[in-house]
Structure 1
Amino acid sequence: MPSKKKTLLRIFIYLVLAFAPAFAIELIFSDKNGGVNNLFLGATLMLYPAIASVITRLVTKEGFRDAMLGFGKRGSGKYYAAAVIYPVVLPFVSALILHLFIVENGRISDSAFGSDIVMGAASLLIAVISGIATAFHGLGEELGWRGYLTPRLEQLVPTPVAIVVTGVIWALWHGPLLAYGYNFGRDYDFFPYGGFIAMIVMCIFWSAVLTWLTKRTGSVYPAALCHMLIDTVLTTVFMPFAYNADGEKFAYRTNEFWMLILSVFPMIIVCGTVSMVMICKKKKQATTA
């Protein structure tokens, strides 16, 4: 195992290389509404963590032996299945919570999704196909966060701490976009700090899920697949449940920011916690074996 000083240097180089181009694009080409107004540069954002990991490995002469570029250990199929099932189930659980506790009046069957099951199913299918087709794009982040940063942090701190720190860094990597309303909009008290806090919480628990997939398979591909499916499926499937068949938003018991938090975060937190427990349990078993 490399010395602590060498590991810290590698992490520092990696973070500079991952953050610098992303922040430059997010600041210079910001559309001031949480997005990037240059489509090409915006499409490259997810690639910089991977590019940073490759350059860091070359500069520090680490090589790629532990890059987890294989398709996984024997028996990894069930984890690839989990990488697909989790993002598909997430919006439906969130929709159920939304209509049970947050929508003031109107049933789930009155929603745009529920009132046209055929169109809803088609949207889900398109979102899943899109996520699978663009899984290589998700590899751009997962080669960096789960494939490089978390294992290096584990050389310095216990695994749960490494997962949390990775989640915080991953969230802050979106910083300039969050400052303009990325993911959570702008119409809420304590803007934009509430969005930063929400993103950090979300990324910590997703970091646990994606790390669990990576550790169980010894491959970054399941995490990349899960990551892209979350990005394509969650919004595509969940948002139609927030509107009625006429295209009007349901009345909520809270504002839209808290609607998203209270609907979507419960399953994220539960699954992230379970993943963290399983990672720790597996590590304990390996230590005592």
Structure 2
Amino acid sequence: MKNKGKTLLRTALYLILAYLPVYILGFAYSDKQGSLTNRLAGASMMLYPAIAVIITRLVTKEGFRDSFLGFGKRNSGKYYAAAFIYPIVLPLVSGLILHLFIVKNGSISDSAFASDGISAVTTLLISITTGFAAALHGLGEELGWRGYLTPKLEELMPTPAAVILTGIIWALWHGPLLAYGYDFGRDYDFFPYGGFIAMIVMCIFWSALLTWLTKRTNSVYPAALCHMLCDTILTNVFMGFAVKADGTPFEYRTNEFWMMILSVFPMIIVSGTICMILLCRKKKSAENAAKAAA
């Protein structure tokens, strides 16, 4: 009971420190369209979860053991490879779904991304380079969510519940931006609540994927890499599939909000579900091994 009390205290302190500056800056500098008017506030936002971890560990005298700051266990290379490949495959699969089921007229070859091979490769390379350049921001979030919050919640509840709750907390952390149209725009029914629901769903399944990468390597770096590459590649490459070569949008069978959800979410949900199953199997195997040893 005493250990659980300490865990609850540390978790609460971490969440206050991670949320408070983001909500203050998010509302103070919002442009009311889903972005921030202050560049410093925008550039620093993703670093606050890591800052919250450092302060929490120092204040509670927890120390920095089990911080997932090593580069990984033996044979971690394949997980780094997965963290790199997944963000590249995601927009390609999403673009295919978009043109198979949602675009009314025109083919994938008419899209801005597919119409010019050199331009497509350039866009992809720039997105990858941008993702690597922004890796510190990804580390800022992953050191907090996957490196600290999920393990703390696992001390209080089963792993699946911890992963899901982390996803919800992570999604709502974006609240000040979501309230004004971040990620999903403003032109849809049930705004902005639909955006909150969509972000929660997305973050839950991505939470499973990123937790799986962290646990399999015992490092936050693969998750940070995957996180930032998803942010940069998905935005740039997928939007290239969503418009024609001349930059005008295709005609969709639904509005842009549902176009994005129906195109992008299937792979996120499938991959997240698979990772959740793998996490549960790993947990069960570890418990059985512990029972056998006892």
TM-score range relative to shorter protein = over 0.9
Q: Partner residue of 1:91?
A: 91
Q: Partner residue of 1:181?
A: 181
The yes-or-no answer on 1:234 pairing with 2:223 is no
Distance apart, 1:114 and its partner CA: 1.1
Query: Using the alignment, how far apart are the partners of 2:27 and 2:133 within structure 1?
Result: 29
Query: Using the alignment, how far apart are the partners of 2:246 and 2:225 within structure 1?
Result: 34
Q: Partner residue of 1:14?
A: 14
Structure 1 runs, 4 residues or longer, greater than 6 Å off: none
Query: Using the alignment, how far apart are the partners of 1:41 and 1:149 within structure 2?
Result: 23
Partner letter of residue 4 of structure 1?
A: K
Q: Render the CA deviation track for 1:217-242: whole Å, top value 9, x for unaligned.
A: 00000000000001110011000111
Distance apart, 1:40 and its partner CA: 1.3
The yes-or-no answer on 1:30 pairing with 2:33 is no
Partner letter of residue 56 of structure 2?
A: T
Query: Using the alignment, how far apart are the partners of 1:130 and 1:187 within structure 2?
Result: 28
Query: Using the alignment, how far apart are the partners of 1:250 and 1:207 within structure 2?
Result: 32
Query: Using the alignment, how far apart are the partners of 2:89 and 2:20 within structure 1?
Result: 35
Where in structure 1 are there 5+ consecutive unaligned residues? none
The yes-or-no answer on 1:205 pairing with 2:210 is no
Question: Helix, strand or coil: the match of 2:104?
Answer: coil
Query: Using the alignment, how far apart are the partners of 2:12 and 2:283 within structure 1?
Result: 27
Q: Partner residue of 1:251?
A: 251
Query: Using the alignment, how far apart are the partners of 1:2 and 1:221 within structure 2?
Result: 32
- Count of residues in Structure 1 that have an aligned counterpart in Structure 2: 289
Q: Partner residue of 1:147?
A: 147
Query: Using the alignment, how far apart are the partners of 2:40 and 2:193 within structure 1?
Result: 28
Query: Using the alignment, how far apart are the partners of 1:224 and 1:2 within structure 2?
Result: 33
The verdict on how the C-alpha distance between 1:67 and 1:2 changes in structure 2, with shifts beyond 3 A counting, is farther
Question: Helix, strand or coil: the match of 2:63?
Answer: coil
Q: Partner residue of 1:113?
A: 113
Distance apart, 1:133 and its partner CA: 2.2
Query: Using the alignment, how far apart are the partners of 2:74 and 2:96 within structure 1?
Result: 36
Q: Partner residue of 2:278?
A: 278
Partner letter of residue 174 of structure 2?
A: H
The yes-or-no answer on 1:288 pairing with 2:288 is yes
Q: Partner residue of 1:73?
A: 73
Distance apart, 1:247 and its partner CA: 1.1
Q: Partner residue of 1:129?
A: 129
Query: Using the alignment, how far apart are the partners of 2:185 and 2:152 within structure 1?
Result: 34
The yes-or-no answer on 1:101 pairing with 2:101 is yes
Partner letter of residue 156 of structure 2?
A: L
Where in structure 2 are there 5+ consecutive unaligned residues? 290-294
Query: Using the alignment, how far apart are the partners of 1:41 and 1:189 within structure 2?
Result: 30
Distance apart, 1:210 and its partner CA: 0.3
* Percent of residue pairs bearing the same amino acid type: 71
Distance apart, 1:117 and its partner CA: 1.4
The yes-or-no answer on 1:265 pairing with 2:265 is yes
Partner letter of residue 165 of structure 1?
A: L
Distance apart, 1:201 and its partner CA: 0.1
Distance apart, 1:2 and its partner CA: 5.9
Q: What's the RMSD between the two structures over aligned residues?
A: 0.9
Query: Using the alignment, how far apart are the partners of 1:248 and 1:172 within structure 2?
Result: 33
